[in-house]
A and B are shown apart, each in its own frame.
Chain A
Amino acid sequence: MKKQFVFIVAFLSMAGMLYAQTPKIDLSLKNVSLKVCLSAIEKQCDYTFMYDNSIDFNQKVTIEAKQENLTVVLHKVFAQTSIRYEIVGKHIVLKSATSAPQVQAESVRKLTGKVTDSKGQPLPGVTVVIQGTTKGTISDADGNYSLQNVSPNETLEFSFIGMQNHEENIGNKNVINVALSESVSSLNEVIVVGYGTNSRKNLTTSISSVNTDEIPKSSNSNMSQLMMGRAAGLDATVSSTQPGGNVNMSIRGAGDPLYIVDGVMMPNTSLEGGSGGSMTVTPSAVNRGNLAGLNPEDIESVEILKDASASIYGIGADNGVILITTKKGKEGAPKVTYDGSQSVVSNYKYLDILNAQQYMGLANVFNKEQYLYNNNMAPYGPNAYNNSWTAPFSDSQIASAQTTDWLKSVLRNGSIANHTVTINGGSKLVNYYVSGNYFNQTGTVSNSSMDRYELMSNISLQLNSFIKLTSTVNVNRNSYDNSTVGGTSNGRGQQAEGPLTAALTYPSNLPLKDANGNYTVFMNVPNPAAMEDILDQTTTNGAFMNFSADFDLIKNMLTAKLLYGNNLENSRRSTYIPSDVYFDQMYESRGNLGYDNRLNQTMEATLSFKKDFGDFLNMDAVVGMGKYNNNTDGMNVAYNGQYDAIQNDNLSSVSGLVAPGSYRTADEKRSQFIRSNFDFLDRYVIAFTLRRDGTDKFFPGKKYAFFPSVSAAWKVSDESFLKDVSWLNQLKVRASYGVTGSDNLGTSLYASYGPFYGSQIMFANNTVKYIPIAINSLDYPNVSWQKTTMKNIGIDFSILKDKVWGSFDVFQNDITDMLGTDNTAALSMLGTYPVNGGHMQRKGWDVSINSKNIQTKDFLWTSVLTVSYYNSLWIERMPNYYYNDYEIHGKVPSNAFYYYQTSGIINADMSNCPASQPAAARKPGYPIIVDQNKDGQITTADIKMSNEVPKPYFGFGNTFNYKKFDLDIFLYSQLGIHKYNYALSFANPSNLANLTSNSNHFAYDMWNSQTNPHGTLPGIAWNLASVTLPGGCGTDIGYQDASFVRVRNITLGYTISGKNLGTIGLYVSNIRIYIDAQDPLTFTKFEGSDPEVDSNGLNGASFPQIRTFTVGAKITL
């Protein structure tokens, strides 16, 4: 199956040199390799060498030439070798003497053409041969080729790695232009696996591969933002839409995966400092993703290891592994591309809040309801209304009220500018990929923005025939304005709400500023507009530096690699509340300045062995060792009493409380591992891996553990009995079993004394201070690894001439000896203790299908579909788990949601109130609790449970290419999850009745006896009755199906190249202009602000969902 690899060394032909004279060459080389000599010749002429790998380029030649004709020089050079050469057009085709005899050079006719990819990008280096012969050529840097002496009955065959072979009859044509489509067949796709690569066809495990080149990236700052719906088995959902916002990444229902970038273990969280804790109590709105310094444009591919394929990473790989490979330099002339785009960002419709008249009217209604309820008047009690209630707002007040749109003072339109320049090229000795990126985003909420400068360089040097050095350097600087959006922190209530939450709370009839020009204050809620003056900025500097050396010990058999990877991040967060902003119930200047550092180091040495034993066995193996160190440290100073003009720039002028803090942590892991693949008869593949991992966290004797895996594949379609089934191109059955682990406990297992969560004891007006210190943990020598056993069975297939291909996998992961903190015995002075216990199980399946639906000369339509499903169960809880009365013991969904089902609202005459309704809840406006078991009373037996795991969710993409146009439409979904519509916590009868908060349009659905006797949401009795239902379980009120299907991207591109570029073509080889709409449409029944974005608990408003419209251009020089 070994393909004949053909290499090309091609350089740009100078435009206009159509009729070049035989060039003159100057050379003086002594005993240099043929390779060096040829490349020197190429530099002096516009001819390119074409050769196959039968040529030995290491043989030494000597040449002395002064202004000699090319032909003379060639003759002199090749006379020293056994190589024959032939000049065909601008190509010099080399053959070893043993090659088949050359075709006669008698010119019959000339054929020319251009080879491009499906997007119209020129493809250099494409092999063009006449079928059945060795006659042929190779396309040049612009994709052009020419052949002489062809005849009409011959067929041209175009081939290129990664592209589908293409055949074309010559006939009478003089020009044949060809667009090659990507080798969609997964057959030869190269997949990055742990410590190496493998071809897709030999893979024994379940790995999803995402080619990020195919995903619109312009408006995304982070790799994770590209992943929604793109890989089967990966559940990527947007957690926050803030600039740099986090995406929850879950492989088959597990938690945060392990991230490996170019072999280096990377943190799976962003580095964020605090904002001053109880001193500033600003909401902790920061929810950003990891790998913030990595420009998605620099990523070559993302592989998702879903099953035993993760075992080779042992520690921390229990949630699966995401392998990211960055772009490397490719041999060839410098290729410079510029990709620039500009986006506008707008918010989805946020909550529909009430205007002044609506608010005042509804406040009157519910105030009266409360009066009736509290005085036992009809319909709530036997008493008749006594006409003595007075409305909080008079008719004239309502009529004259002015509406303030508080949301408008917080929400706005945003924008994104994204510019990337890449330079890529190299020779046999040096390959380089260098890129620079500037990313600037203005968020759609006041005080939110992001700014990134990034420089990436990937350089490899072939030092000599057996040492290759590679260095990757990524330096980046990210600056953010952190909007204080979100719920409250540090146990505060609405006095410390973020501006968006406050904007939903502020009544619309309140003016922005009072008569004196000061911001109004509603109760103790901070003014949403005034909060714009609160400063909260983060600047993070990152340096990812990776150095490796590859040693070719025995050619094509034994190689060694040393890797040192280093990820360093420094973050500075500066928070300041000016003295004139009312926040947390006071006007006082408060601030916090903090610095946080983290360092992740990976040191690995590996030896790789690869050998073919004839047709019987191909094997490869990797053995290695690694050491992994993580260090963090940081410090902060929180304070109050500062000059607003100085803020955090000089803390020596602080007059109030000063609370400093600092920390430092270090942990280390050590590993030995082996991975081996055996491919028998090109049909049966067996792979073994074993990793021995040690961590410093555990006690001696518990530090190390083994993580084995075994997997096998049977390439059924290569069996003789299926060889003749024409519609079946590939069928492979595989199975895997592997163990991974976790040491992720977060607490020390060693006894210590320490202060208690910052407690201090103070006397004498807080002037005498003691730091209380006592035992805060004991020795736990028996605690050790958590183990995850991953089992997977799958098939890979390709049918109908590789028009449809894909994979299907079923899996079961068992997490045993779960490492966690369990409740201690009731009288223990420590509330929890670390323990191995419990057993959780996740089962499911995922499928990915790719298809080429229609392919004609000018038109190509391809589709990709991923569908994923998992279920997650507790098999066994932690030993001392506190059960609620109603909770199911034993096997139970790990995302169980328990609730009383409600069915309508009790009406005013209580005629629809069932006998089973609990006594205290028998009030008009109270929801009717469903008596599930019809026993005439509401007990815990009536509680329902729903398993809150997503139903099978999908990603679905369609790409259409028509001539120079390309159109891509991608959808993704999240189905079957229920979420609380937190708009309802603002639309609350009690808040309206007591004038403590504005409301929104859901208030019109709330039952009341005066204006809405058929309301569908609970009335004020729901608040005032203060009923705790049996077992303390809640109801389904407010929970809605948060299923959605979202159109993630619609992208339309147009490529201009070749002649169409006109005079620009002198400088530019290709321009692609595109427009992209990201998240333009969402289909959902969910009525809250968004079914996907985390709502930050239920008491805080989160960033709204956004739409992004982008215009951009990618220019290739």
Chain B
Amino acid sequence: MKNKIIFSILIAITLLLSSCENNFNPQIYGELSSTNFPKTESDYEALLMTCYVPFEVNWSYNLTGGSWQHGFYVAGDGCMRLFDATSDYCAPWMVNSDDGAGQQYTEGNFANFTLFVPTDDNNPPHFEKIRDITRFTEIIGELENSTVLSDTIKKNFVGEARLLRGMMMYYLLHIYGPVPVILNPALVGNTVAEENMVRPSLDSMVVWITNDLEYAVANMSNSATIPHGRYTADYARFCLMRHCLNEGSYMSGYYDMAIEMYNELKTSGYSLFTADGVNSYADQFMQGHKFNCETIEAVSTSASADGSAGNGNFNPTSWYVVPSNAAKYADAANTIPTPFVYQGGGWGQNYNVSPAYYDTYEPGDLRKNVILTSYIQNDNARTNITVADIGVKWSGFIINKYPIEIPSQFQPTDIPLARWADVLLMYAEAVARKTNAVPTGEAMQGVNDVRARAGLAPLSGAATASYDGFMDALLAERGHELLYEGCRKIDLIRFNKYRHNCFAIKGIEPTSQYLPIPNYAVLQAASYGKTLTQFFERPDYGQDN
């Protein structure tokens, strides 16, 4: 009996011990907390680097912990789809298409984009990126409040973060029109602010972008130690210049600011890449000429990437532009390689150059060399597919500006973001718009320098006879020079020729000037008692005929 009593006591003690409620906090491993981060300059730099995530080239990223998003420079769903495929030079993708959004972008048919939902990994609405802007604002707040950083470093970091935030706003403006954003770090986490789903005015949004870019221009550096691909003050100048040009028609002083940016950029000594003679235009994009004298900014890529967010940048364009039945070799014996020898067919020709647009090139324009007007089909006969097969075997010509150079599915072709040729054309445009006249001197010379490299004579005739004639020529010049560099639709809207040119070349009018904000967001706004206008168009869109 004694034993039983001892055991009873033992059990009672065990029960008591296990009821102890100390040390009952969660064990969280592998993460940092506000008690140990950020503490050093490199911690703050890691914080800053978060703002680059949407500008990296990989398949998708997730900054919100919610839905996945596509970055701006990935061929699948970035600027190429938003601003090139929707523009005049891409024919509707009708052969072997995805039967869905990819085809509708090329048709300028945005009506159904109201149905995009964040949970769709294939077509996540870019609208969700307004959350990323709030995050950037939070990061800017943390950088500004840092007691660790020196004043110079702090301003430099903040400038870089504001450039990235400015570009997020810039792209969203050109996708949807003005969108709600949070720019005051004190409002991050504030429910009222976070539910304020109302479009700001166009002027406000434009000024916010300008403020961020101006701050970046004033506080970032051009130091030679900045690794290629990380943004510089000059890239900020380029971005501000383009933004000012876009919005200068109704914002005072913007053309002056654009011209000022040109003058500042000029001091950095950029020049057109001409080292390869007649092939210079095409060659500048190839991997042997990364960051050449013309490059102000580019996404620096390498073949070491693998598409995941963790392994760097690459250029996947070829998968989206080469027909899936393209052959590696032109002959059955596999001795004559085609341009696609390292890859074979792509995933389907999402983007193309319409034959009608191809015809707008002047004879002898060397820039046509980046367009392939035929290809060899991967069948036993190795059939040559030509312009006669358009609409049957393919929807348009192959854009070969970012060629397949190595036997890897991850091509190391840098993705151009800012080129001196663009600056020259923008400068001429700024001067023309400011003076409302055909530019002369340095401004006109810049345009002709760009033409000269393409093997063309200086502008003449109608192009120099009137302001309108010059502007028409400039728009055409920009299309030929900047083909598939992710800015065409923005250019067309600046010239108020978006609807006009699309109809003229593709025979299709876009359903709206900008993409609609998806229904889910409109409904969400309504649930907060807000009205979020679904469609936006600029006041002068009515004159785009």
Given contacts A826-B524, A829-B188, contact A370 B392 (CB under 8 A): yes
A994 to B96, CA, bound (A): 6
Check A760–B310 contact: CB distance below 8 A: yes
Q: Which of A521, A694, A828, A880 counts the most B-chain CB atoms under 10 A from its CB? A: A828
Within A976-1027, the residues touching B (CB, 8 Å) are 990, 993-996, 1023-1024, 1026
Check B118–A766 contact: CB distance below 8 A: no
A657, A832, A994: which contacts B304 (Cβ < 8 A)? A657
**Which of chain A's residues have a CB closer than 8 A to the CB of B542?**
none
Is A277 an interface residue when CB atoms closer than 8 A count as contact? yes
Check B139–A766 contact: CB distance below 8 A: no
Is B131 an interface residue when CB atoms closer than 8 A count as contact? yes
**Which of chain B's residues have a CB closer than 8 A to the CB of A882?**
117-119, 520, 523-524
B11, B96, B138: which contacts A829 (Cβ < 8 A)? B138
A705 to chain B, nearest CB (A): 14
Check A757–B62 contact: CB distance below 8 A: yes
A278 to B308, CA, bound (A): 6
Per-position 1/0 for A522-555, Cβ under 8 A of B: 0110000000000000000000000000010110
Is B301 an interface residue when CB atoms closer than 8 A count as contact? yes
Is A715 an interface residue when CB atoms closer than 8 A count as contact? no
A278, A627, A994: which contacts B311 (Cβ < 8 A)? A278
**Which of chain B's residues have a CB closer than 8 A to the CB of A668?**
24, 27
A667 to B27, CA, bound (A): 7
Given contacts A750-B33, A756-B50, A880-B524, contact A827 B310 (CB under 8 A): no
Per-position 1/0 for B366-409, Cβ under 8 A of A: 00000000000011100000000001100000000000000111
A771 to B312, CA, bound (A): 11
Is A165 an interface residue when CB atoms closer than 8 A count as contact? no
Q: Which of B13-21, B249-257, B275-283, B429-437 contacts A (4 or more CB under 8 A)?
A: B13-21
Is A782 an interface residue when CB atoms closer than 8 A count as contact? no
**Which of chain A's residues have a CB closer than 8 A to the CB of B63?**
756, 829
Check A758–B309 contact: CB distance below 8 A: yes
Q: Which of A201-209, A443-451, A773-781, A809-817 contacts B (4 or more CB under 8 A)?
A: A773-781
Within B301-321, the residues touching A (CB, 8 Å) are 301-302, 304-313
**Which of chain A's residues have a CB closer than 8 A to the CB of B31?**
748, 752-754, 776
**Which of chain A's residues have a CB closer than 8 A to the CB of B99?**
990, 1023-1024, 1026
Per-position 1/0 for B188-229, Cβ under 8 A of A: 110101111100000000000000000000000000000111
A968 to B49, CA, bound (A): 67
Within A710-758, the residues touching B (CB, 8 Å) are 748-754, 756-758
Is A825 an interface residue when CB atoms closer than 8 A count as contact? yes
Within A481-495, the residues touching B (CB, 8 Å) are 490-491, 493, 495
Given contacts A605-B15, A763-B300, A1023-B99, contact A828 B61 (CB under 8 A): no
Within A383-434, the residues touching B (CB, 8 Å) are 389, 392, 397
Check B139–A1031 contact: CB distance below 8 A: no
Given contacts A466-B4, A772-B49, A825-B194, contact A754 B520 (CB under 8 A): no
Residues of A within 8 Å of B, CB-based: how many? 107
Is A1060 an interface residue when CB atoms closer than 8 A count as contact? no
Within B227-269, the residues touching A (CB, 8 Å) are 227-230
**Which of chain A's residues have a CB closer than 8 A to the CB of B363?**
none
A659 to B312, CA, bound (A): 12
Is A279 an interface residue when CB atoms closer than 8 A count as contact? yes
Check B34–A751 contact: CB distance below 8 A: yes
A760 to B46, CA, bound (A): 10
Is B521 an interface residue when CB atoms closer than 8 A count as contact? yes
A490, A667, A749, A763: which contacts B229 (Cβ < 8 A)? A763
Check A1026–B61 contact: CB distance below 8 A: no
Check A826–B525 contact: CB distance below 8 A: yes
Check A828–B134 contact: CB distance below 8 A: yes
A1023 to B96, CA, bound (A): 9
A397, A624, A751: which contacts B33 (Cβ < 8 A)? A751
Check B11–A748 contact: CB distance below 8 A: no
Check A659–B310 contact: CB distance below 8 A: yes
Is B53 an interface residue when CB atoms closer than 8 A count as contact? yes
B377 to chain A, nearest CB (A): 9
A759, A764, A880: which contacts B310 (Cβ < 8 A)? A759
**Which of chain A's residues have a CB closer than 8 A to the CB of B450?**
none
A199 to B227, CA, bound (A): 76
B332 to chain A, nearest CB (A): 10
A668 to B28, CA, bound (A): 12
Which secondary structure dominates chain B's binding surface? loop
Check A553–B409 contact: CB distance below 8 A: no
A563 to chain B, nearest CB (A): 11
**Which of chain B's residues have a CB closer than 8 A to the CB of A766?**
300-302, 304-305, 311-313
A551, A656, A758, A774: which contacts B139 (Cβ < 8 A)? A774
Check B66–A831 contact: CB distance below 8 A: yes
A279, A824, A830, A885: which contacts B519 (Cβ < 8 A)? A885
A392 to B377, CA, bound (A): 11
Given contacts A553-B7, A696-B24, A827-B197, contact A773 B380 (CB under 8 A): no
Check B26–A748 contact: CB distance below 8 A: yes
Check B310–A490 contact: CB distance below 8 A: no
Per-position 1/0 for A556-572, Cβ under 8 A of B: 00001010000000000
Is A672 an interface residue when CB atoms closer than 8 A count as contact? yes
Is A133 an interface residue when CB atoms closer than 8 A count as contact? no
Is A663 an interface residue when CB atoms closer than 8 A count as contact? yes
Check A768–B227 contact: CB distance below 8 A: yes
Q: Of all chain B residues, which has the CB nearest A375?
A: B391
Check B117–A696 contact: CB distance below 8 A: no
A733 to chain B, nearest CB (A): 37
Is A371 an interface residue when CB atoms closer than 8 A count as contact? yes
Check A825–B115 contact: CB distance below 8 A: no
A769 to B96, CA, bound (A): 39
**Which of chain A's residues have a CB closer than 8 A to the CB of B505?**
none
A363 to chain B, nearest CB (A): 11
5 closest cross-chain pairs (CB), A and B: A831-B66, A766-B312, A831-B64, A278-B308, A1032-B115
Chain B contact residues, CB within 8 Å of chain A? 3-4, 7-8, 11, 14-15, 18-19, 21, 24-34, 37-38, 43, 45-47, 49-50, 52-53, 56, 59-67, 94-97, 99-100, 103-104, 107, 109, 111-112, 115, 117-119, 121, 128, 130-132, 134-135, 138-139, 180-182, 188-189, 191, 193-197, 227-230, 290, 300-302, 304-313, 324-325, 343-345, 347, 378-380, 391-392, 407-409, 412, 519-521, 523-525, 527-528
A-B contact pairs, 10 of them (CB 8 A): A490-B59, A666-B27, A668-B27, A748-B31, A753-B38, A757-B62, A766-B311, A767-B227, A774-B135, A823-B524
18 more contacts with CB within 8 A, not counting A762-B56, A827-B195, are A370-B392, A560-B11, A585-B409, A605-B15, A697-B26, A750-B28, A758-B310, A760-B311, A760-B312, A763-B229, A763-B230, A773-B46, A776-B65, A826-B130, A826-B528, A827-B131, A1023-B99, A1028-B115
